[in-house]
Amino acid sequence: MIVPVNKLPEVAPVSGTAILSYAHPITGDLEFNAKIENSYTGVRYSLAFPIPYNANGAYIPLAAYDLTNIRAGVKFRDVWTASVFVNNLFNKHAQLESLYPENEGDTALNYIITNQPLTAGIDLSYRF
């Protein structure tokens, strides 16, 4: 049975995001911009139910993590932008959530959902 311990499942008591943003004109119409952001999520607990639809269960601690994203590009007035970006810069595998199969009665079959790995790309946008 889950004992109330003043902990909300899936809610980290400590979390935060820091963003550094920079913009500088290149010419009268072009502007360079860059941004780095880091998001931290502390330890939190997920619920595991060994028997589906039963009140018996347990808290599973999920590790704290922080993810870093960077972006840099140019902007032409408010007409178009071109940027390069890298999400999850350090390729961290964060534990986002613990899920259990509802048709199995064993917590050993729980699986952990993780975030997207390092992803890089180009973002082009045009405003009509």
Q: Give residue-wise pLDDT tens across range 6-17.
A: 677 788 889 999
Any domain includes 83: yes
**Quick one: pLDDT at residue 49?**
65
Residue 109 φ then ψ, to 5°: -90, 0
Mean pLDDT of 32-52: 85
**Quick one: pLDDT at residue 3?**
58
Residue 2 φ then ψ, to 5°: -80, 125
Structure tokens at 28: 């009268």
Give residue 25's identity as a one-letter amino acid code.
P
State how many domains the chain has. 1
Judge whether residue 59 has pLDDT over 70.
Answer: yes
Which residue range is the domain that position 89 belongs to?
Answer: 15-126
**Quick one: pLDDT at residue 78?**
87
Taking alpha carbons only, the member of 89, 38, 85 closest to residue 64 is 38
pTM score of the predicted model: 0.78
In terms of DSSP bridges, do strands 30-41 and 44-48 run parallel, antiparallel, or are they unpaired? unpaired
Tell me what the pLDDT averaged over the chain comes to: 86
Any domain includes 9: no
